[in-house]
Amino acid sequence: MLRMSFLCSSLFMVFCMPVSAQNLVNNADFHIGVELWADTPPDLVIASDSADWMDDPGSGSAKITNSASGNYNAGVRQCVSDGIIGGDLYDFGARVRVPSGQSEVGNAYLLGFVYDQEDCAGSQIAWPSSNPVSSADTWVPLARGDFLMPAGGMSILFNLVVNKLTANGGSFVADFDGVYMVPDGTLFWNGFESGTMVPWSDSVSP
Ligand SMILES: [Ca+2]
Q: Where are the domains of the chain?
A: 21-183
Q: Over pLDDT 70: what percentage of the chain?
A: 80
Secondary structure (3-state) at 93: strand
For 96-159, the DSSP string reads: EEE-SS-SS-EEEEEEEEEESSGGG-S-EEE--B---BS-EEEEEEEEEEEEE--TT--EEEEE
pLDDT for 186? 72
Average pLDDT, the chain: 86
Distance, CA 62 to ligand 1 centroid (Å)?
Answer: 8
Distance, CA 139 to ligand 1 centroid (Å)?
Answer: 11
Distance, CA 174 to ligand 1 centroid (Å)?
Answer: 14
Taking the C-alpha atoms of residue 141 and residue 180, their distance in angstroms, rounded to an integer, is 11
Taking the C-alpha atoms of residue 175 and residue 183, their distance in angstroms, rounded to an integer, is 25
Distance, CA 53 to ligand 1 centroid (Å)?
Answer: 6
Distance, CA 151 to ligand 1 centroid (Å)?
Answer: 33
Distance, CA 32 to ligand 1 centroid (Å)?
Answer: 9
pLDDT digits (tens, 9 = 90+) for 79-124: 999 999 999 999 999 999 999 999 999 999 999 999 999 999 999 9
Distance, CA 150 to ligand 1 centroid (Å)?
Answer: 30
Considering the domain 21-183 in this protein, what is its CATH number? 2.60.120.260
* pTM for the full predicted model: 0.82
- Provide the sign of the torsion angle of the four alpha carbons 151, 155, 160, 162, taken in this order: negative
Distance, CA 206 to ligand 1 centroid (Å)?
Answer: 36
Distance, CA 3 to ligand 1 centroid (Å)?
Answer: 12
Secondary structure (3-state) at 42: coil
**Nearest alpha-carbon partner for 71 in 180, 194, 162:** 162
Beta-carbon contacts of residue 44 (< 8 Å; ≥ 6 apart): 64, 65, 66, 67, 68, 72, 74, 75, 76, 162
Contact criterion met (CB below 8 Å) for 178 and 94: yes
Count CB neighbours of 75 within 10 A.
27
**Nearest alpha-carbon partner for 20 in 12, 30, 11:** 30
pLDDT for 204? 54
Distance, CA 55 to ligand 1 centroid (Å)?
Answer: 8
Strand order of the β-sheet with 5-8 is: 16-18, 5-8, 188-189
